Structure 1
Amino acid sequence: MAQLKSWISLPLGLPTNEFQELIQKTKDWTLMHGGGIRSKHHFSSDSLTVVPFTLLPSVFPRDEFQKALNIQPVLNELTHMVSRDYEFLQSCLEKTIEVDEFTNNLYKLYETVREEGFTQCLSLGMFRSDFMQQKDANGCGIKQVEINTIASGFGWLGIVSGDIHRFVLQQLDLLDTFKLLPENKAVQGLCSAIIKAWELFNDEDSVVLVIIEDKSINICDQRFHEFELTRQKPELRVIRKTLTQISNEAKLTESKDLIVQSKKVAVVYYRAGYSPDHYHSDAEWSARLLIERSTAIKCPNIQYHLAGTKKVQQSLAIPGMLERFIKDPAKVADVREVFTGLYSLDLDESGDKAVKLALDNPECYVLKPQREGGGNNFYGEAIRQKLMSCINSKERSAWILMEKICPPVQQNYLIRPEQDFTKNSTLNDVISELGIFGTILCDGDTILLNEQVGHMMRTKLTSCNEGGVHAGDGVLDSPFLIDLQKK
């Protein structure tokens, strides 16, 4: 991995007691300004613990950050176009659904509502594209890790991350560095898109329905979206329900309006439903189908959900495939530039070649299933073991192979709940991942809204493969924009 020097000399030049005081004060500030999560191990709906974060922001090249912002609307439109192409989705997923039960269930749901006829022509997408820097001959260029089309979280916590670092920099008397922390209005932009969809539904008494997990760990990120919705539109009402509750309580009228708590639902915003763990039985799948059959505007609808699968991402990387959806050659070139190597593992000649690549050099790749939420990938020697277990089986088709991105290494302090810095205050080697939020609102093929609305950043130890904050590996971070000299 490339080494990128930290932007400030650490450990800050502070005496030990002042360093400890800064950390505790920052933890308190974070909790008191919406930077909290619920404990997975000691869950209580009445308590919060501080969200993990870096003490300082991480360096990110200004031009690469701007490139990520600029390309998000193109990726929004690409995802929308993919979602409208039945033949493409079918060809992408036909082998995967033979061996991946979860994707098969999603696809069957898609086929059911497609055959019945979609009841709502309006579609709302709130996406997040994740990028890492890849060292090349010209410096560090961004490469796409994935695009998230369902439950794209951290719109609020992305804002909190920057505010944490402004507080720390202020405490360190580094006010002149504030200008290097970019403005972030992610939650405002995301909620504005929901409100526009609600307005297009054209029923002042209708509600926004948020689909949640049985236990909402990421409660601040979810709730601050709700609070922002009612701040922007005080008359709008928000209802939270699990899929299980929807299966027991929701109804469809003869005109296919979705009714929850005697209210017509205008917009359904999924913060759950992306993992098999969210479907305990047929009841939850029936609830998902009920929603898809309804006139409610779904965020995402089942088409967008399928368009965000890893298999679709891999298929779009096939030479010449982007031109099917994007007619502007310049935009095609921009998207292709941020793609990294993606390979099918189907039982065919190209799949066999990809398997050989992975077996020969497993440390250079990541093995990915059709899942969201983190913690599902294989790395290093585990790739070889997994592929050898299914080398002659159709199960291979449930996975894709992606070239591993190697971003520059920086140093930082990772601040976690219940961490004792009096015993261990050493710097850590870390790498970062940038997420860019985008919104798109369409009426059939007509695009009504297409924007980039903000960002988030996660950082993890170089020794960690996964970077999920709630999984316990990643921590919140924010970009500190600098101008790098090109070679």
Structure 2
Amino acid sequence: MSPLTERSYPPVLEDQESERLVQVVKDWTIGNGLAVRPPVAVAPAEVDPRSILATSAPVTLFPSPFPQVCFEQAKAVQTAYNELYARISQDEEFISRVVQEVIGGDDFIASLWDVHLKVKKEGYVQPLSLGLFRSDYMVHQENQGTGTQESMPQIKQVEFNTIASSFGGLSALTSSLHRFLAATEYPLLKGTGAHGQYNLPENKSTQGLAAGLRAAYSAYGKSQLGHETCVIFLVQGGERNIFDQRHLEYELQQGSRTPVFRLPFSEILQRTTIADSDKRQLLYHLPSNPSKVFEVAVVYLRAGYGPGDYPNTSDWDARYHIERSAAIKCPTVLTQLAGAKKVQQVLATEASGLGKFISQDTEEFKKIWETFTNIYPMDTSEAGLAARKLATDPEKCQKYVLKPQREGGGNNFYRSSIPPYLKSVSESHWGSYILMELITPPPVTNIILRNGQLEQGGVICELGRYGACVWNQHTREILYNEDAGYLLRTKGDQSEEGGVAAGFGCMDSCSLV
């Protein structure tokens, strides 16, 4: 495949240029909140016992070239994806079938489904749902390396995130950083390639996601109990990626002054109660002033997406407590389950899967279908048995990634690691995985600044497109549906995973080519 970058990109930096650029980036990122709490390797607990330190989020020194046609393709399809996943979350029968196929080997999915069944039994009291989604893609191009003419590049979907779709708060800032550098620092560099035109698209991911939260907050309406209403960010303890979340809070509070509170997942049952009424309003008791009670209009889950957030039975009780309340959830359990990898596989395997939700003769169907790559079940169906042969073959497995029904990064198995992993797992559990053909993006080079050190070489870029959607589960009416900006995550081309907070990837922005 033809590289997206010329040999002169990124420009070769002399030592003094490199030192200056690193210092400028370090200062700008801290000055503007493009930051994370430092990892333990940088600041051990004994060095920072009060968690007062912050460090620059890992970033590229230059924006990475990205095909404009692919960028526009992702943007154009996002609202259709929002509506698709709203419809999936409304189809309990479909989600039930998917869940039954994977729960034999996935206790976490089974426990989420149990929460839904318990609430369904007593009756849901809140028909409105909020989705803050992110659809992740990589660039794909047919006929690469075959000697024949290569086709136009297209995006192919890696995954669709329905819970805790992170980095919207930092992504817009990364775009701003590269705009600043393009205006002030790149023109000063001597190296060839530094002075070209940078086609940097607008990125309003912070505003877009906050607008979705604000739409849900407004849809909730005023308290019937006479309380002030609020938004709760449900978070993990010791969150390193706190500033990403804070930027959404600050944006939400600007202008409307919406009360926003952070609540650790482990403190749900201590800090909230449910009103003794038919509406089951969720009440938040302010720790600093227990006499002050807020009615929770929206609960935004930035925790609860993996088994690690549920170490005790009480944590599942807390999730049930939230789910049965009148607060608008982002996401509900059903919407979280809609984001399972098995759902993605069913949609992509045959047209009838996607056609169940979107008519096959529509433009929306075509746009979504074109983003799918080859995904296979790992069950005992004919397709699943064929996929098992691919996954266990030492040679053929090199083209695939094995995925469990998990969010958050670091959960997948790539290439040669697939066969030994499957040997360690009972075959009765294989059906809870999917097998995806690896997408091979065009070569790109860049320089990453991570923990004060520069890493230069080949990189792989993954584009995420955010979407915000509010809908009514009962009437199926879509109340709000908007594209909400983008994320570009970049990692060294030797890394399998792309999680920024986990230390694999870094923040980046697009220079469209």
When the two structures are superposed, what TM-score results if normalisation uses the length of structure 2? Answer: 0.89
**Which residue matches 2:356?**
324
Q: How does 1:439-478 map to 2 (within 5 A)?
A: 439-444=468-473, 445-478=476-509
Provide closer, same or farther for how the CA distance between residues 249 and 431 of structure 1 changes in structure 2, counting only shifts above 3 A: same
Counterpart CA distance in 1 for 2:9 and 2:357 is: 48
> 1:20 aligns to what SS in structure 2?
helix
Counterpart CA distance in 1 for 2:373 and 2:171 is: 25
**Which residue matches 1:333?**
366
**Residue 469 of structure 1, CA deviation:** 0.5
User: Is the counterpart of residue 189 in structure 1 residue 208 in structure 2?
Assistant: yes
Contact 2:444–2:458 (Cα < 8 Å) also in 1: yes
Contact 2:235–2:303 (Cα < 8 Å) also in 1: yes
Equivalent in 434, 437, 444 of residue 466 of structure 2: 437
**Which residue matches 2:290?**
none
**Which residue matches 2:147?**
none
User: Please, what is the CA RMSD of the aligned residues?
Assistant: 1.7
Counterpart CA distance in 1 for 2:264 and 2:317 is: 13
**Which residue matches 2:424?**
389
Equivalent in 192, 199, 213 of residue 180 of structure 1: 199
User: Is the counterpart of residue 248 in structure 1 residue 270 in structure 2?
Assistant: yes
**Residue 177 of structure 1, CA deviation:** 6.1
**Which residue matches 1:257?**
281
**Residue 249 of structure 1, CA deviation:** 2.4
**Which residue matches 1:285?**
316
Equivalent in 198, 203, 219 of residue 217 of structure 2: 198
Contact 2:162–2:331 (Cα < 8 Å) also in 1: yes
Counterpart CA distance in 2 for 1:396 and 1:15 is: 52
**Which residue matches 1:211?**
234
Equivalent in 164, 188, 192 of residue 151 of structure 1: 164
Counterpart CA distance in 2 for 1:109 and 1:156 is: 30
**Which residue matches 2:35?**
36
Counterpart CA distance in 2 for 1:131 and 1:125 is: 19
Deviations 1:250-307 (A, max 9, x none): 1111221111112110000011110111112111111111010000000111111000
**Residue 17 of structure 1, CA deviation:** 1.1
Contact 1:26–1:167 (Cα < 8 Å) also in 2: no
**Which residue matches 2:123?**
117
Deviations 1:405-446 (A, max 9, x none): 111111111111132x5xxxx731111000000011112300
Equivalent in 374, 380, 385 of residue 347 of structure 1: 380
Contact 1:131–1:146 (Cα < 8 Å) also in 2: yes
Equivalent in 399, 406, 412 of residue 364 of structure 1: 399
Deviations 1:334-359 (A, max 9, x none): 21111011111113332211111222
> 1:217 aligns to what SS in structure 2?
coil
Which runs of 5 or more structure 2 residues have no equivalent in the other structure? 143-149, 189-193, 286-292
Contact 1:3–1:410 (Cα < 8 Å) also in 2: no
Q: How does 1:21-60 map to 2 (within 5 A)?
A: 21-41=20-40, 42=44, 44=48, 45-60=51-66
- Paired letter, 2:313: D
Contact 1:166–1:178 (Cα < 8 Å) also in 2: no
- Paired letter, 2:238: K
**Which residue matches 1:485?**
none
> 1:139 aligns to what SS in structure 2?
coil
Contact 1:433–1:459 (Cα < 8 Å) also in 2: yes
Contact 1:347–1:394 (Cα < 8 Å) also in 2: no
Q: How does 1:76-115 map to 2 (within 5 A)?
A: 76-115=82-121
- Paired letter, 1:266: A
- Paired letter, 1:143: K
> 1:94 aligns to what SS in structure 2?
helix
- Paired letter, 1:172: Y
User: Is the counterpart of residue 413 in structure 1 residue 447 in structure 2?
Assistant: yes
Which runs of 5 or more structure 1 residues have no equivalent in the other structure? 483-487
Counterpart CA distance in 2 for 1:359 and 1:59 is: 36
Contact 2:138–2:156 (Cα < 8 Å) also in 1: yes
Structure 1 stretch 108-117 or stretch 61-70: which is displaced more?
Answer: 108-117
Provide closer, same or farther for how the CA distance between residues 10 and 342 of structure 1 changes in structure 2, counting only shifts above 3 A: closer
Equivalent in 394, 403, 419 of residue 437 of structure 2: 403
Equivalent in 230, 242, 246 of residue 223 of structure 1: 246
Deviations 1:187-230 (A, max 9, x none): 11111111121112112711101100011110110111111111
Contact 1:150–1:271 (Cα < 8 Å) also in 2: yes
Contact 1:52–1:416 (Cα < 8 Å) also in 2: yes
Counterpart CA distance in 1 for 2:177 and 2:298 is: 32
Contact 1:53–1:475 (Cα < 8 Å) also in 2: yes
Counterpart CA distance in 2 for 1:13 and 1:352 is: 50
Equivalent in 132, 136, 153 of residue 140 of structure 1: 153
Counterpart CA distance in 2 for 1:285 and 1:135 is: 44
**Residue 26 of structure 1, CA deviation:** 1.2
User: Is the counterpart of residue 311 in structure 1 residue 331 in structure 2?
Assistant: no
Provide closer, same or farther for how the CA distance between residues 221 and 177 of structure 1 changes in structure 2, counting only shifts above 3 A: farther
- Paired letter, 1:79: Y
**Which residue matches 2:301?**
270
**Residue 117 of structure 1, CA deviation:** 1.6
Counterpart CA distance in 2 for 1:427 and 1:480 is: 18
- Paired letter, 1:51: A
Provide closer, same or farther for how the CA distance between residues 314 and 11 of structure 1 changes in structure 2, counting only shifts above 3 A: closer
**Residue 118 of structure 1, CA deviation:** 1.4
Counterpart CA distance in 2 for 1:215 and 1:11 is: 36
When the two structures are superposed, what TM-score results if normalisation uses the length of structure 1? Answer: 0.94
**Residue 64 of structure 1, CA deviation:** 1.2
